[in-house]
């Protein structure tokens, strides 16, 4: 077995066993707390450019199957686990996690103290790091200097968004889904409700979207800082008040910024399938799936037409808003789960109902 190093920008070095690809890889190290769902996690486009640390100690025990991908091509830079299962046991398993990461040219490291790494991230925030083979030629001081001199990525969305528009036909409501790094779970939920979906790239203009005559617009999840997605913010600004909208994760942030709010970077983000969120409208608490490094500043909602609807019970941050005048609502978490609990799946039904109500209003005025 080959030895591999995980070197952090603060000079911390973890030594473990290599799996997956043999290539070196650099990225931002984050952690996620899900006990299951590693296949959905590694294929989630919201993890673009990141090295993922799994806090659950045993990973890979049910292998990789054909059904649980959230994108066709994973965008992660590396995978960090405490213990890798070399012999998966599950009737759906097609291959091992090691074999899959090797095929996708993604390096992994096992056998390190993931609790220590998680504590570093919680104390210092997401940090830049490199995965590299243990070699006498590796100069840790030079690697650390390089990491500290490397800027964080700012072009996440353009790398994971669809390049051209494409349909996912249905006979129900026409939904234009703006792809900021969409998980397939969102499209799946809309398809299950027979929506006639058109997926469009992140930089599609409001005029182009309105020309498709949508009944509603879905703003997808995605990676990175919402302030970097200038084209998406401009598009959403020009769509407010025109068509019902539903936003998820990055889509929630982009909408809130377009409506006058501001965002900020969380110390270490929310990633995992066990985050409690309270719906202020009903008092209901859902356990939610989350994956984001930025949030909307609740104080910045003052003076806007946005109303706070959901709050994270762990840290009190904004988890959802709705527009006071127009049929638009957004949430920071993932109601499509994948992975995680499906407590908030009902939000897709609320979106359908909202489109039906608006269609009925238009018919009355016709």
Q: Which of 158-172, 261-275, 351-365 has the lowest mean pLDDT?
A: 351-365
pLDDT tens, 82-116?
Answer: 999 999 999 999 999 999 999 999 999 999 999 99
The question of whether 249 is a catalytic residue gets the answer yes
pLDDT, residue 135, reads 82
How large is the average pLDDT for residues 149-160?
A: 91
Q: For 49-99, give the DSSP string.
A: TEEEEE-SSEE-TT-B-SS--SSSS---SEEEESEE-SS---TT--B-HHH
Q: Is the pLDDT of residue 136 over 80?
A: no
**Are residues 24 and 45 both part of a single domain?**
yes
**Are residues 140 and 260 both part of a single domain?**
no
**Are residues 336 and 308 both part of a single domain?**
yes
**Are residues 314 and 289 both part of a single domain?**
yes
Residue finishing a domain among 126, 148, 170? 148
The question of whether 356 is a catalytic residue gets the answer no
Secondary structure class of 297 (helix, strand, coil)? coil
Q: For 201-270, give the DSSP string.
A: ETT--HHHHHTT--SEEEE---SS-GGG-HHHHHHHHHHTTTS-EEEETHHHHHHHHHTT--EEEEEEEE
Q: Is the pLDDT of residue 170 over 70?
A: yes
- 46 or 1, greater pLDDT: 46
d(CA 293, CA 270): 6
Q: What is the mean pLDDT of the chain?
A: 96
The question of whether 334 is a catalytic residue gets the answer yes
pLDDT, residue 366, reads 66
**Are residues 126 and 176 both part of a single domain?**
no
Q: Which two tokens stand for residue 162?
A: 């669809």
CATH code of residue 347 = 3.40.50.880
The catalytic residue among 189, 249, 292, 319 is 249
Report the number of distinct structural domains present in the chain: 2
Q: Which domain holds residue 349?
A: 156-365
Q: Is the pLDDT of residue 286 over 90?
A: yes
pLDDT, residue 103, reads 97
**Are residues 143 and 192 both part of a single domain?**
no
Q: Kindly give the interhelix angle for 230-239 and 250-258, rounded to the nearest 10 degrees.
A: 60
How large is the average pLDDT for residues 263-285?
A: 96
Residue finishing a domain among 148, 180, 214? 148
């Amino acid at each position: 077995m080959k030895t591999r190093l995980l070197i952090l920008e603060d000079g911390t070095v973890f030594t473990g066993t290599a799996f997956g690809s043999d290539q070196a890889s650099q990225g931002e190290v984050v952690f996620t707390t899900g006990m299951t769902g590693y296949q959905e996690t590694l294929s989630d486009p919201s993890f673009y450019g990141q090295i993922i640390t799994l806090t659950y100690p045993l990973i890979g025990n049910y292998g990789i199957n054909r059904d649980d991908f959230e994108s066709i091509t994973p965008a992660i830079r590396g995978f960090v686990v405490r213990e890798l299962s070399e012999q998966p046991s599950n009737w759906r398993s097609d291959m091992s996690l090691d074999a899959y990461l090797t095929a996708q040219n993604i390096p992994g490291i096992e056998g390190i103290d993931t609790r220590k790494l998680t504590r570093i991230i919680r104390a210092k925030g997401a940090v830049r790091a490199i995965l590299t083979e243990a070699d006498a030629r590796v100069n840790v001081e030079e690697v650390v200097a390089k990491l500290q001199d490397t800027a964080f990525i700012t072009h996440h969305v353009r790398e994971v968004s669809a390049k051209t528009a494409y349909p996912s036909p249905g006979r129900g409501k026409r939904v234009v889904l703006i792809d900021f790094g969409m998980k397939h779970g969102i499209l799946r939920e809309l398809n299950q409700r027979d929506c006639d979906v058109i997926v469009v790239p992140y930089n599609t203009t409001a005029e182009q979207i309105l020309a498709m005559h949508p009944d509603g617009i879905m703003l997808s999840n995605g990676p990175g800082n919402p302030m970097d997605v200038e084209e998406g913010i401009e598009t959403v600004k020009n769509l407010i008040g025109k068509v019902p909208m539903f936003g998820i994760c990055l889509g929630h942030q982009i909408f809130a910024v377009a409506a006058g709010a501001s965002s900020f970077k969380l110390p270490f983000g929310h990633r995992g399938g066990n985050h409690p969120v309270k719906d202020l409208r009903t008092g209901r608490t859902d356990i939610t799936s989350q994956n984001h490094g930025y949030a909307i500043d609740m104080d910045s909602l003052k003076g806007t037409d946005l109303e706070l609807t959901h709050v994270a019970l762990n840290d009190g941050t904004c988890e959802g808003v709705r527009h006071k005048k127009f049929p638009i609502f957004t949430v920071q978490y993932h109601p499509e789960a994948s992975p995680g609990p499906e407590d908030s799946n009902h939000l897709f039904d609320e979106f359908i109902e909202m489109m039906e109500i608006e269609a009925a209003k238009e018919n009355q005025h016709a």
